[in-house]
Amino acid sequence: MNAAGGRGPGKAEPAAAGRGGPRVPATDGRRLKGARRRRLLVDAVLRVIAVEGAAAVSQRRVAAEAGVPPSAVMYHYASVDDLLLAALTGVNDFYVAALEALVRDPLTAPRELAELVAAPGREHLAAEFELFLMAARRPALRVETERWRRAVDAFLTPHLADPDDRAAAAAAVDGLFLRGCVEDPPPGVEEVHRVIVRLLSPRRSGPAGPR
């Protein structure tokens, strides 16, 4: 589940000087600078968790990782919970957008979802999963875990009409992400694809038959 790696906002264009062009309002420049700083801090949170675990996250530790003074962290995030929520929101933004972009065609959806789950270069996957697990003890994070659950359910709905089938498939998808965290080597695209094909094939039985 990866929010880092070149997805932050780009550099702001400098304000035009003199009469040569329209001037960029100072408030816009400050807003862009603030967005870049928040992106920097969120990426630093993920790096700290990836190497040292979530227990190591503090405003001072994140400041050191990001190369900024602690006051800069406290200006944007008043508490550690705020930092963690911002990091989880950024992770979710990426994965929810990726899910929504997948084609709902049943012939291509399994392959596209497998490529998302088994995407190479997800060095922050363990940190991302740890953030999700922290929602068990930090209720403020649960709004984001629920957003992910709804996004997965929306992706599965065109393929699985039965809510129980969707719940089982969603649990399996989360399990595939977990395997990507702990197995070496992690599951490849072909293996994940085979599993997802089975998940998206609704079970059929007679009215009195077992589910």
Per-residue model confidence as pLDDT tens digits over 80-99: 999 999 999 999 999 999 99
The per-residue b/e assignment along 194-204, b for 16 or more CB within 10 angstroms, e otherwise, is: ebbeebbeeee
HSE at residue 9, side-chain half, CA atoms within 13 A, is: 15
pLDDT tens digits, residue range 92-126? 999 999 999 887 777 888 999 999 999 866 667 88
Q: Where are the alpha helices (DSSP H) in the chain?
A: 26-52, 59-66, 70-76, 80-101, 109-117, 125-133, 142-156, 163-182, 189-199
78 touches 172 (CB < 8 A): no
163 by Cβ neighbours in 10 Å (0-12 / 13-18 / 19+) ranks as exposed
For residue 35, pLDDT over 70 is answered with yes
In percent, how much of the chain has pLDDT > 70? 81
The residue among 134, 103, 108 whose CA lies nearest residue 1 is 134
Report the chain's mean pLDDT, rounded to a whole number.
Answer: 83
Residue 45 within a domain = no
Instruction: Taking each helix axis as running N to C, give the angle between helix 142-156 and helix 80-101, from 0 to 180 degrees, rounded to the nearest 10.
Output: 10
166 by Cβ neighbours in 10 Å (0-12 / 13-18 / 19+) ranks as buried
For residue 210, pLDDT over 90 is answered with no
Residue 9 within a domain = no
Residue 141 within a domain = yes
Residue 108 within a domain = yes
Instruction: Using pLDDT thresholds of 50, 70 and 90, give the confidence band for residue 204.
Output: very low
26 by Cβ neighbours in 10 Å (0-12 / 13-18 / 19+) ranks as exposed
Residue 25 within a domain = no
To the question of pTM greater than 0.75 for the whole model, the response is yes
In the structure encoding, which two tokens stand for residue 79, read together?
Answer: 């508490």
Residues in the chain: 211
Instruction: Using pLDDT thresholds of 50, 70 and 90, give the confidence band for residue 201.
Output: confident
Residue 72 within a domain = no
Residue 63 within a domain = no
Whole-number pLDDT of residue 193? 96
CA distance 90 to 106: 28
Q: From residue 63, give the alpha-carbon distance in Å to each of 2, 42, 56, 73.
A: 21, 11, 12, 6
Q: Indicate which CATH number applies to the domain containing 110.
A: 1.10.357.10
The domain of 161 spans: 80-200
Tally of domains within the chain: 1
Instruction: Using pLDDT thresholds of 50, 70 and 90, give the confidence band for residue 184.
Output: confident
73 touches 83 (CB < 8 A): yes
Mean pLDDT of 152-180: 94
In the structure encoding, which two tokens stand for residue 184, read together?
Answer: 């070496």
Whole-number pLDDT of residue 125? 86
Instruction: Using pLDDT thresholds of 50, 70 and 90, give the confidence band for residue 16.
Output: very low
Looking up tokens 């291509």 gives 108
For residue 144, pLDDT over 70 is answered with yes
CA distance 3 to 91: 5
pLDDT tens digits, residue range 2-13? 444 333 333 333
Residue 85 within a domain = yes
